[in-house]
Amino acid sequence: MKTVELYTDGACSGNPGPGGWGAILRFAGREKELSGGSRDTTNNRMELTAVISGLSALKEPCRVDLYTDSQYIVNAITKGWAVKWKANGWMRNKKDKALNPDLWEQLLGLLGQHDVTFHWVKGHAGHPMNERCDQLAVAQSEKNR
């Protein structure tokens, strides 16, 4: 299995508002940048979309070291929250619906195809790859204004 690095970030001007996402795949000394956005979205949707888009770009099952500044994503996966939400009909508890079930469903499916290790990085703290993903995401959010 190939080992790939995936860096992701999402951005939103207003929440909700115009948003964008950026992802960078690294493999064998090469990099591929991906980005996109939406006119009316949330920051968490853009964070999730960045991860989904990066994993979806892989042409075969891979080991993936995934770097994100989204504690929402890291905690939902590593602490098993997303799996529990799905098992409970996309409910976080007896009263509250889980947000973004469509995207969580996609992400959980992709995690079944790849061996992904999640790494949290502090956002806007000078991490070069996180900063580049942020630039890609912000540029896309500005296009969607």
- Could you tell me the two tokens for 56? 């979806």
> Strand order in 17-27's β-sheet?
30-41, 17-27, 2-12, 62-68, 115-120
| Active-site amino acid positions | 9-10, 47, 69, 124, 134
3-state class (DSSP) for residue 74: helix
Give the model's pLDDT for residue 57. Answer: 98
Residue 145's pLDDT band (boundaries 50, 70, 90)?
confident
Closest CA to 127 of 42, 31, 7: 7
Phi and psi dihedrals of 63, rounded to 5?
Answer: -85, 130
- CB-based contacts of 69, cutoff 8 Å, min separation 6: 9, 120, 121, 122, 123, 124, 130
Q: Report the percent of the chain where pLDDT is more than 90.
A: 94
- What is the tens place of the pLDDT at every residue in 81-140? 999 999 999 999 999 999 999 999 999 999 999 999 999 999 989 999 999 999 999 999
Averaged over 54-82, what is the pLDDT? Answer: 98
Give the model's pLDDT for residue 62. Answer: 98
Alpha-carbon span 34 to 31, nearest angstrom: 10
Alpha-carbon span 73 to 11, nearest angstrom: 14
Alpha-carbon span 67 to 91, nearest angstrom: 27
- Could you tell me the two tokens for 46? 């853009």
- What is the tens place of the pLDDT at every residue in 7-61? 999 999 988 999 999 999 999 999 999 999 999 999 999 999 999 999 999 999 9
Residue with structure tokens 């001007």? 13
pTM of the complete model: 0.97
Give the model's pLDDT for residue 54. Answer: 98
